[in-house]
Structure formats: structure tokens, C-alpha cells
Structure 1
């Protein structure tokens, strides 16, 4: 895969992102694929970043792929490590070579970045590689303050999502936009109205949605 030439960000440029977390097999990659399709339908610029070195079967073509930097299978073969150990090695390698990722993160103004992250819980509970990316360290105090507010005021909410239903996926997009402070352009509204006009059926009650997902 050919990487796009690096473009320097301008101070006036604004970018928006989604970090997709979840256990292995939860549907992170499928969500990234469908959300990217939805955002492109309404005219947004989207960059998908695959940061899972074990993600070798993707329905989308990543714009930035950690597997171009380091390959899990090669690490397992050369270092005689199992899948989990090799994954930890890959993330440590990314941490040491974070400039590679920073150079790839380029785009036009208002680009939406979607980060497809690995699902192994060890990376988040018992390991610091993902916490130590260089571009998050300067916001450490701010992030700690925001987490404190979220915990103290119970601001975490949950939104059920059917990734194969555009109307349902739009609800998630709206929540993400609100969290990112994104203000959509007028032409996006026309695209959204057109999509909603094609939707079939009324919104199901929450209890019915819960039952469907349990099934």
C-alpha cells in the first residue's frame, strides 16, 4: 500500500477522531468500516488508521496501517513469541517509533480520523505502550481532569447500535459529533435527510432493541 506524502498541519486546521475500543471479536473493525462509509456518504473526509498488528482480515482498506511498520506474524516467527507476547512487542515497537505514525497522520481540514485499536485487554490494564504515545502526553493533566469530571458526575452513557442500519448509525455519529464539537456543513444536512428518507420502518422501543441484541 502506498502511503500518501506527509502534509504539515496548519494551526487553523481542525481534525476529529474516534478511538474504537472493545474486546477481540466485538465488532470494532466492522464498525470502523461502516462508520467510514456513512461519513463518506454525507461528504466528510475520512482516514481509517489500523493500529492492530493482528488485524489481517479487514473489510476496509486502511489509509494508515501499523502492519506497514511491523508485522505480527513476522514477530512471532523471528522472536518465538505467542500471539499475545508478539502483540505487546509490536505496540512497544510502535511506541519507540511513534514518529512514523505522526508523519502519516495528515489530511485536509475537518478530516475525520477513525482509529481501529487492538482488543487485548492486557494493553490497557497491564501495559503502558498505548498510554505513552507522544501526542497524548502533553494533555495528560487535561485528560485526568476530564476523566475525573466524567466519573464524579456519571457522564458515561451507552448507545445501542446496529452497524448495518444507517439511521441507527447516524445516532452514534451525532453523539460523536457532539463530543468532538463538530459543526456539520449545510450540504451534510441534505445528504442526511436523503438517507433518512430512504430508511424503512419507525424507531423500535428501547426494550425491543435490547431484546433483539440479546437474541
Structure 2
């Protein structure tokens, strides 16, 4: 207990990571609004020095310490090198971050992180920042967002699985992988398998067999088999589908994250969640549920198959 007292009061939060365009900032704002409706005090912390157009309110912005345009202009670096420098600068100035976070004591924190994949697969700076936060008594879960459109391309999906596994092993935080933008998945094209195949990461040998039908990937079958073996041997990667417009989907993600970080519901928040889930669907959640999207997609595929059979 003495060590925890020196580190500061226990605090919980999420570090939201993932490739560019996966919806990290949108997720932070949507999850913040969802948690606020449950009565949880929430603060969004922007750790992306390239994020100049924040989609919503931000309690703490790394732009007060360093910005990517300034680094690129002063050091002659490109976007990738400049972003790595910014994260190393943040690591070297961890006291600045700790001082700013003290003003947010009692809040549940959502850390909106940069979109450079190297930061989560092999670069040390952001990993060290997360480790420093743990020493300050923050209990964090990593929420790794992946755009759901990768499911429509088996080759890209295997790459996503490898990246997700590498991120989980490197970041060393309780981890939840999320397939974002599920409300748009039916616009991306046909899936080779049902959605649960991708979220549960079932027998990937079927995916390799599907790739073998593509002339481009036929010569790389052996490589794909070995990559799939690595993923299956670790048996760590699975995904939670997310549609930020759907409260049931948001609840599913929140429960997975709270379980990963060890956050426990209070009675008041549990009652708020139950009331929210039982309430009529409002304007904020006008899209169909994620499950309904899957059912609709499967039904449309079945109908297409029936039409092809009738044509024959």
C-alpha cells in the first residue's frame, strides 16, 4: 500500500492504438460520451502530435509540449521520423505528462495515440511511456482498432493478424482488439466467411486455402501457412466488433476493456448501464446493431447464392 500511495491514487483508462484511419479519435469521443451517460467521469488525452483537428473536447493535448509540424520544420525530418522523435521527446519529458495528469485525478482516461504502426510493434518510446503510467498507478488496457474492411481481403487480414499479435507482445498491456466501422462493412465487399470467423479467428487453414485460389498468392502458400501457424500457436488474437453508433456494440467493447483492465462497476454505474440498454433507441444510436449487420450480410449472401442456383 505504501508504494501505491507514493505512486498516486489508483486510476483506470484506455490507450487507443491502431493504424491511421482506423477511427481512434472517433472512438475516443464516442466512448467518452457513452461513459459520461453512465455517470463515469471521463477525460480524453491526445497523445498524437500530428492530430491538429481534434473531433471533440480534449482535456490534455500533447500539442502543448511538442507538435509534428514544428519538429519537421526545425529538424528537417519527414512525417515518420518526426513522429518517432515526438514520442521520444514525450518519454524524455514524462514529468510534464505526470504534472498535467494530476489535474485529471478521479477521471477515467482515454489516451488517443498516434497511428504509426512502428510505435506499437518495435519502437520503445511509447511502450516506455505506458510503463511509466503503470508506475504512477494507472491501470490501462490497450484498445487496438483495426478497420473492418480488411476482412474482405484474406491477404490483408493475415497481415492484420500478424500486426495485432506483434502489437500485443510488444506493448505488454491487457489488450482488446477491435474491428471498427462495422456499420460500413457491407459496403466494403463480400466476405469469404461469416463474420464470427474473423472475430473469433477460427481455423485459419480455410483462409490459406481461399488465398490459394488467387494467382498472386498461390506462390506464397507456404509462407502464409507458416504465418498462420505462428498466429494459431500463440492463440492470443481475437476481435470485438464495433459500431460506435450502436449502444449494444459499445457496451460489448466496454465490458471487454473493463474486464481486461480490472475495472469494476459500481452500483450506480451498473444501474445507469441497465437503464441505458433498456431505453428506446434514440437519435444517437439510429443504426442497426452489429449483430443485425452480420445477419443482414449473411442473408444477402444466401439470397445471392439462391439466385445463382436459379440461373443455372
TM-score (norm 2): 0.55
Secondary structure at the aligned position of 1:131 is classed as helix
- Deviation, 1:137, is 8.2
- Deviation, 1:193, is 2.3
- Deviation, 1:125, is 3.1
Name the structure where helix makes up a greater proportion of residues. Answer: 2
Hey, what does 2:247 align to over in structure 1? 166
Q: Does 1:46 align with 2:42?
A: yes
**In the alignment, is the contact (CA less than 8 A) between 2:18 and 2:115 conserved in 1?**
yes
Match of 1:135 among 98, 118, 132: 132
Q: After superposition, what is the alpha-carbon deviation per residue over 1:122-160, rounded to whole angstroms, capped at 9, x for unaligned? A: 223342211222616869xxx98x96x999773443110
Unaligned 5+ runs, structure 1: 1-8
- Deviation, 1:86, is 1.4
Hey, what does 2:73 align to over in structure 1? 77
**In the alignment, is the contact (CA less than 8 A) between 2:246 and 2:290 conserved in 1?**
no
Looking at structure 2, the residues matched to 45 and 80 of structure 1 have their Cα atoms a distance apart, in angstroms, of 41
Hey, what does 1:3 align to over in structure 2? none
- The alpha-carbon distance between structure 1 residues 155 and 210, as it changes in their structure 2 partners (threshold 3 A), is farther
Q: Which runs of 4+ in 1 moved over 6 A?
A: 9-12, 149-153, 209-212
Secondary structure at the aligned position of 1:105 is classed as helix
Secondary structure at the aligned position of 2:19 is classed as coil
TM-score (norm 1): 0.78
Equivalent runs, 1:21-36 vs 2, <5 Å: 21-36=17-32
**In the alignment, is the contact (CA less than 8 A) between 1:167 and 1:199 conserved in 2?**
no
Q: Which has the larger radius of gyration?
A: 2
**In the alignment, is the contact (CA less than 8 A) between 2:15 and 2:111 conserved in 1?**
yes
Looking at structure 1, the residues matched to 59 and 46 of structure 2 have their Cα atoms a distance apart, in angstroms, of 8
How large is the RMSD of aligned CA atoms in angstroms?
3.3
- The alignment of Structure 1 onto Structure 2 pairs a total of residues equal to 198
Structure possessing the higher relative contact order (Cα contacts under 8 Å, 6 or more residues apart): 1
